[in-house]
Structure 1
């Protein structure tokens, strides 16, 4: 597969540009600045985005995206073909597949676009749908830098220092009402994530939270998705059973994605696993203290020096195993290798600097 020529975009400025990046939350958040960069480079371009139905609210927060196309995973062949037919009817002259899977390759090909571009991380045969791939976008490049290579190819080299997400005023006001009476600093605790192997124990998060609350006299904001309410409830219960006087609210499952973005923007620090909310917090310019067990903080973490990213030192680190390869006493040993004191000290370093 040939690489994209240096002068490609000068020779083929887009009129209608489609990004295909359906999931997951963290990856979509890291890719969203590209819509902003494209509008900066070509103010009159119309930008479309293919997104998983459950993440539609995320791309709606980008005022630089004009058209949104929902992908319903698991909805069957006819639903997928309907999407492909719709994409073909929209007359996109340039398509960028940022996902690089078989299904997104088929979406890319179905557009009939004259300029179909992908990344070097593409797999499952998706590269057959592309005319060219962007150089320096292999898996050796951190995800956030890999996406930004596209903007650099357009001539937009400077990374943004303000969020590429704009939260509606009504959501901002609601979130402010939740937090206005709480003593500062505001310490976010987000113990959930999708992989078992990335899920540092909730008991450890609770201990970190208690340590930070004691040292700062601040407030704890427990965060989680709608399917993580048991987890956030357990975290709150563990904290409250030891220190019933601590200022704390459990917002697990109670905030929409726009409200979560607003919440994260108001925190002084977010303590979390490698997760979508980690990237959303970073995009909202909130420093994170994040635990990395089976993933690599360099490859998968957010950019910037304001964050504290803590990784296990075990030989199996950064193996990206969804199921722990170790057995017996070594099973999920990475959870014990990263200590409560490490994480609490890292979070305090952030809190002490502000």
Structure 2
């Protein structure tokens, strides 16, 4: 018996859409092509997006996002009360629940809309499936970006061309030019930190790569990222060990980071939000991945040839899964990374 076709949810003209995807900068980057596709399909659609502070600071000013409703994660239960107040008395035509965790379930339940679209029961965790009334049917495991495109499929909205429109915005260009005017060489961004220690690399190897970028390729290493304790410690080690100058911009706001990544010749990054930003901006990106499956969360479509894949063992054709592998990122060698830099030099260098 043939399987049933996927459900089709009619999208009314000038629909008022609430997007629920609150946390993780990388996930916010993956949601942007959904937003741009919806607006391309019908410019009269109004998009409201519930976001936490970090990703909100990245998305704020995006031409296809009409409104951001802030969710203060640190506020505990009070945050949900504030969100309920912000959404109170407002009716949406459609809720897109792209996040499958408990807090997203509460937000989706609070929203007033006749249609609440989410993932099937097998993929929706923490009772998330219980707060949606339209389900995307189960599919074969695929890249997270393609999973989000399943929402567009269900709505009958084409996902091509894939567009992020991350900027820099026009008013940000002066600051971008001022930053690069201070550098005497093309920049190579080093994204040295992540939210999970298993995704992180060895400071001594970062320092060795930094020196090789300077000596062999005439590049100025630029450290980018946040100000977590681990990032600050890694930064100190790199600055102490490197023989050549390294510029550090740790802690710059996300919108400034967009300008730095977009204007750089190359990005070398751990598996973290700025890696996805760099790929979305079209900056050649060498991703160092070992903890999480790169077929599921690695660079999307672009620069797959520059990926340093320590997740898979030599010769392994592993499937797309959510399984994590401990200790793999630290197996990456300086030689492996510099091999990808050489490939960038031959193939992508501008």
TM range (shorter): 0.7 to 0.9
1:275 to 272, 277, 282: 272
Most deviating of 145-154 and 284-293: 145-154
Q: Give the match for residue 152 of structure 2.
A: 151
Contact 1:270 1:281 in 2 (8 A): yes
Q: Is the 8 A contact 1:119 1:137 kept in 2?
A: no
Which residue number in structure 2 is paired with residue 300 of structure 1? 297
Structure 1 equivalent of residue 341 of structure 2: 347
Alpha-carbon RMSD across the aligned residues, in angstroms, is 2.4
> What is the distance in 2 between the residues matched to 1:82 and 1:189?
38
1:340, CA displacement in angstroms? 0.9
Contact 2:21 2:28 in 1 (8 A): yes
Aligned partner of residue 74 in structure 1, secondary structure: helix
Q: How many residues align?
A: 334
189-198 vs 209-218, which moves further: 209-218
Over 3 Å counting, the alpha-carbon distance change for 1:82 and 1:137 in structure 2 is: farther
Q: How far is 1:335 from its partner? A: 4.0
Q: Is the alpha carbon distance of 1:32 and 1:256 closer, same or farther for their aligned partners in structure 2, counting shifts above 3 Å? A: same
Report if the CA contact (8 A) 1:190-1:224 is conserved: yes
Residue matched to 2:205: 204
Cα distance in 2, alignment partners of residues 183 and 235 from structure 1: 20
Q: What is the Cα deviation at residue 183 of structure 1?
A: 3.7
Q: Structure 1 residue 217 and structure 2 residue 218: aligned?
A: yes
Question: Deviation string for 1:264-287 (max 9, x for gaps)?
Answer: 111111111100110011111112
Distance 2:59 2:269 in 1: 23
Q: Does the aligned pair in 2 maintain the 1:191–1:273 contact within 8 Å?
A: yes
Deviation at 1:68, TM superposition (A): 0.9
Distance change >3 Å, CA 306–CA 336, structure 1 → 2: closer
Q: Which residue of 1 aligns with 2:70?
A: 70
Runs (4+) of structure 1 exceeding 4 A deviation are 3-6, 314-322
Equivalent residue in structure 2 for 1:310, among 308, 311, 314: 308
Q: Distance in 1 between matches of 2:117 and 2:332?
A: 40
Measure, in 2, the Cα distance between the counterparts of 1:221 and 1:268. Answer: 11
Match of 1:337 among 322, 331, 334: 331
Give distance in 2, aligned partners of 1:61 and 1:304: 26
Corresponding residue for residue 329 of structure 1? none
| SS of equivalent to 1:23 | coil
**Cα distance in 1, alignment partners of residues 176 and 63 from structure 2:** 21
Give the direction of change, closer, same or farther, for the CA distance of 1:76–1:6 in structure 2 (3 Å limit). Answer: closer
Is 1:234 aligned with 2:237? yes
Shift of 1:86: 2.6
Listed one character per residue, the Cα deviations across residues 74-96 of structure 1 (whole Å, up to 9, x for unaligned) are: 31223312312432422111000
Mapped to 2, the partners of 1:143 and 1:7 lie a distance apart of 21
Q: Structure 1 residues 17 and 75, CA, compared in 2 at 3 Å: closer, same or farther?
A: same
Change (3 A) 1:347 1:119: farther
Deviation at 1:66, TM superposition (A): 0.9
Distance in 1 (CA, whole Å) between partners of 2:88 and 2:136 is 23
Q: Secondary structure at the match of 2:118?
A: strand
* Deviation larger for 180-189 or 194-203: 180-189
> 1:34: which partner in 2?
34
- 2:192 — aligned with what? 191
Aligned counterparts of 2:177 and 2:340: Cα–Cα separation in 1: 27
